[in-house]
A and B are shown apart, each in its own frame.
Chain A
């Protein structure tokens, strides 16, 4: 029996076991150091096979993944118990939602949105001390973020300056909304807060898009239109200001094309 299960190491390294055998083999792996060693050796080959298939990822994927990661809580490092395998345990992701053919093109971002829900749930789970009003508010905020990320026309752009400070925005033209996060900014000093601005064509058409929570977001900016030219972040006194009182620490330009699509490019800011 033990010998027989040992023979499955190669199939395991190739992810070629069915669900039942996979569970059995992983249980065995935790007790069998030679098996774990063999799997590690065989994994050297599967990494080669994997790398050989490398292909450039679609450019739009980058900002999406990096943006959602900024909104997603990480798991806790395991205390004590260790996996014997060189591979992550076969804990399967939550079941994939039912698919039907008609919706396929719309699904691109929903997976990411679902991942975000998961992250939000984790964060919410940790926040056990909060009042139900606060929880309701957070759920509503998560839902607003999700709505933008899941929009069929959602497009993500990001930009950083030389110090790595910048803004990432996932913009849905059809919803006139964007999910905005910042990165690389130092924590706001005591009594100050980072505020997000939606810039218009003239200096008089600058509108607050909200205060950025600690850690850089996310904030849902609303009422984007063809006259919106850029996002900017400034440091303001606690509670925020009616209009910017300091020089922006980060900016992201929005370019509204004649087709109505909003694209955006990074503006480098000192």
Chain B
């Protein structure tokens, strides 16, 4: 299908470019930027919500990619996975320290659940891919889906997820794993 092909093509292109970036090739970095800035910024924004902070964190993450590119080892995984990990970790770090600060300052209880995934995104690119993913997410059990999205899109640790969903730690670990595995079966593991 079209979606999968674009998915694979972009991923392969990132795999081709990142080793060049690792040798200091600015032209390759510019091409890589064009390819990954949308996913990087969108993911950071999904976690942080605030556009100004998201821009700042996305910039940091993309510069992480530039600085660390010589350390990328293609045998160990895809370039896109490596890049999005920088972005996601940066975003999660930021949202966790912001939450910690808020809780210290205001001493308020936990806020209600964040908006559902499909309410937040406003992107124009990758809509087919997103629809497909949403359909697959719908096929998970509520607990599987919430375990995965609270962690990945809202930046909660698995302990916090267990706390919010009022389920034992072991259950959350299992649901995260089952959720991701079922997601892969639904989406196809080709990419």
A interface residues, Cβ below 8 angstroms from B: 7-11, 13-18, 36, 40-58, 61-62, 64-66, 68-70, 72-78, 82-88, 90, 92-93, 96, 99, 104-105, 107-108, 111-112, 115, 118-119, 164, 183-184
Contacts and interface: CB of A to CB of B under 8 A. Distances in A.
A17 B53 CA distance: 23
Contacts of A41: 184, 189
Contacts, number: 248
Contact of A50 (B24, B87, B157, B183): B87
Q: Which one of B40, B53, B64, B85 has the highest number of Cβ atoms from chain A below 10 Å of its Cβ? A: B85
Given A53-B43, A87-B81, 5 more contacts: A43-B77, A65-B66, A68-B59, A83-B73, A86-B76
Interface residues of B, number: 89
B60 A115 contact: yes
A108 B63 contact: no
B27 A50 contact: no
Contacts of B87: 50
A68 B63 contact: yes
A184 B29 CA distance: 13
Contact of B88 (A8, A15, A54): A15
B26 A74 contact: no
B148 A14 contact: yes
A69 B63 contact: yes
Interface of B: 7, 11, 22, 24, 26-27, 29-30, 33, 37-43, 45-46, 51-53, 55-60, 62-64, 66-71, 73, 76-78, 80-82, 84-90, 92-94, 97, 101, 121-126, 129-130, 133-134, 148, 151-153, 155-159, 161, 170, 172-174, 176-177, 179-181, 183-184, 187, 189, 191
A108 B55 contact: yes
B33 A183 contact: no
A83 B76 contact: yes
A105 B52 contact: yes
Given A9-B177, A74-B22, A75-B68, A54 B125 contact: yes
User: What DSSP secondary structure best describes chain B's contact surface?
Assistant: helix
Contact of B41 (A14, A56, A83): A56
Contact of B38 (A16, A57, A88, A105): A57
Q: Which of A68, A88, A96, A111 has the most chain B CB within a 10 Å cutoff?
A: A88
B176 A112 contact: no
A154 to B, nearest CB: 12
Contact of B42 (A36, A55, A78, A96): A55
Contacts of B51: 58
Given A90-B89, A111-B60, A183-B26, A54 B38 contact: yes
List the 5 shortest-distance A-B pairs measured between CB atoms, nearest first: A86-B77, A55-B42, A10-B177, A57-B41, A55-B123
Contacts of A55: 38, 41-42, 45-46, 121-123, 125
